[in-house]
Chain A
Amino acid sequence: QLQLQESGPGLVKPSETLSLTCSVFGGSIKTTNSYWAWLRQPPGKGLECIGSVHDSGDTYYNPSLKSRLSMSVDASKNQISLRLTSVTTADTAVYFCAKVDEDTLGSNWFDPWGQGILVTVSS
């Protein structure tokens, strides 16, 4: 049973870089051959998919965040990372990581998810 856990600073200053790590337990990133996604939910607002990354290096980034975003996979550590530069208070949110599950017909969805980590952008 795969389990995901997000970690990183809970407080980031405006204009600085938000860096988070998602650790995968109960399975190997390499053998799952999956994409891994980051999503976020600002306080009182709906969810947003930030983007996804494969250990091959292939990425999909939300167009609204693309210029500030980078994601990568470290298969040796079984971790996925997220970097979001030049943050503002609008980037305050609970950040989730999730595995992108896929069937043979190409449909995909998020499962499982981590429990999320609150990141506050404030001076």
Chain B
Amino acid sequence: QSVLTQVPSASGTPGQRVSISCSGGGSNLGRNYVYWYQHLPGTAPKLLFYKDNQRPSGVPNRFSASKSGTSASLAISGLRSEDEAVYFCAAWDNSLDVWVFGGGTKLAVL
């Protein structure tokens, strides 16, 4: 069971906007930054956002991220077929003294 909670799957059609949530607690998301990654199995996970909502260069601005309290959200607008991937969140946990991760949300573009 992952410390950060994500729904296992989500879907959307091309052009749509989808949102993926990540829920944690006071010792992780409540006190520390959240990080978002995109992962196509068999390839290297790619950093999408660092420090809650900072987008690295090269990540399209169709992707956005936010955090409030112990919940974080990743949004993708203008959905494209190449966005089909697993998206997972990560944060440091002050109580466990380890990095904790979400189980990942598999996004299907129908």
Q: Does A4 contact B (CB under 8 A)?
A: yes
CA distance A5 to B67 in the complex (A): 32
Question: With the chains together, A48 CA to B103 CA distance in Å?
Answer: 10
Q: Does B56 contact A (CB under 8 A)?
A: yes
Chain A residues whose CB sits within 8 angstroms of the CB of B103 once the complex forms: 45-46
Contact between B99 and A49 (Cβ–Cβ < 8 Å)? yes
CB distance from A23 to the nearest CB of B (A): 13
Residues on B with C-beta less than 8 A from A49 are 98-99
Tell yes or no: B51 within 8 A of A by CB: yes
Decide yes or no whether A107 CB sits under 8 A from chain B: yes
Interface residues of A in 35-91 (CB under 8 A from B): 39, 45-49, 62-64
- Residues B101 and A47 in contact, CB atoms below 8 Å apart: yes
Contact B47 A111 (CB under 8 A): yes
Bound complex: CA of A116 vs CA of B45, how far in Å?
A: 9
Given A47-B101, A63-B97, A113 and B45 contact (CB-CB distance below 8 Å): yes
Q: What is the bound-complex CA distance between A4 and B44, given in angstroms?
A: 9
B33 at interface (Cβ–Cβ under 8 A)?
yes
Q: How large is the interface on A (under 10, 10 to 19, 20 to 34, 35 or more residues)?
A: 20 to 34
Known: A110-B90, A111-B56, A115-B43. A46 touches B104 (CB 8 A): yes
Nearest-CB distance from A99 to chain B (Å)?
A: 10
State whether A109 and B35 are in contact (beta carbons under 8 Å apart), knowing that A46-B103, A47-B101 are contacts in the complex: yes
Interface check A112, CB cutoff 8 A: yes
Q: How far is the CB of A51 from chain B (nearest CB, A)?
A: 10
The yes or no answer to A95 lying at the interface (CB within 8 A) is no
Measured between C-beta atoms, what is the minimum distance from B46 to chain A in Å? 8
Measured CB to CB, the nearest residue on chain A to B36 is A109
- Most B-side CB within 10 Å, residue of A62, A63, A111: A111
Listed in ascending order, the chain B residues whose CB lies under 8 Å from chain A are 1-2, 33, 35, 37, 42-47, 50-51, 56, 88, 90, 97-99, 101-104
Ordered by A's residue number, 7 sampled pairs between the chains whose C-beta atoms are within 8 Å are A4-B44, A45-B103, A46-B2, A47-B101, A49-B99, A110-B45, A116-B42
